[in-house]
């Protein structure tokens, strides 16, 4: 698991291929491809779980397909979705904020530390 995380964060050797002249379009493509890769892995794991549950007679795929979450479960899912999308789009949001409000060069180190502590 740790080796997988290290490999995922490794920088590829050589220059990154660029497909578009607009860096913003390129950034969106990179985000999309990262999310697509994560989705593919998650889909494989869900498929594995469904097959194991069915083979052990615990659940059938029909039961999984017809599952209706409770109100609390739906709320938890919606909260997770919102947080997930916020994480995916965080870099874009930070860039927009930087363009709209250039960094105040007069901030003290204490102000910066306070801001970083609030983000955690």
DSSP string, 50-75: HHHHHHTTS--HHHHHT----HHHHH
- pLDDT, one tens digit per residue, over 43-87 is 999 999 999 999 999 999 999 999 999 999 999 999 999 998 888
E strand segments, 1-120 = none
Give the separation between CA 4 and CA 35, rounded to whole angstroms: 17
Burial annotation 46-62 (CB, 10 A radius, 16+ → b, else e): eeeeeeeeeeeeeeeee
Predicted pLDDT at 120:
58
Predicted pLDDT at 15:
66
Predicted pLDDT at 95:
77
Average pLDDT score over the chain:
81
pLDDT class for 9, splitting at 50, 70, 90? low
pLDDT class for 1, splitting at 50, 70, 90? low
φ, ψ dihedrals at 46, nearest 5°? -60, -45
Q: Does residue 26 have a pLDDT over 90? A: no
Q: Does residue 103 have a pLDDT over 90? A: no
Kindly tell me the number of DSSP H helices and DSSP E strands found in the chain: 6, 0
Contact status, residue 30 vs residue 23, Cβ threshold 8 Å:
no
């Amino acid at each position: 698991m740790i080796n997988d995380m290290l490999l995922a964060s490794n920088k590829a050797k050589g220059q990154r291929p660029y497909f578009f002249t607009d860096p913003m379009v390129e950034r969106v493509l990179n985000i999309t491809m990262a999310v697509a890769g994560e989705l593919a892995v998650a889909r494989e794991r869900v498929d594995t779980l469904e097959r194991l549950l069915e083979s052990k007679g615990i659940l059938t795929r029909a039961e999984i397909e017809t599952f209706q979450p409770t109100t609390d479960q739906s709320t938890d899912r919606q909260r997770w979705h919102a947080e997930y999308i916020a994480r995916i789009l965080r870099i874009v949001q930070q860039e927009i904020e930087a363009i709209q409000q250039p960094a105040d060069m007069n901030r003290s180190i204490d102000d910066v530390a306070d801001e970083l502590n609030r983000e955690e």
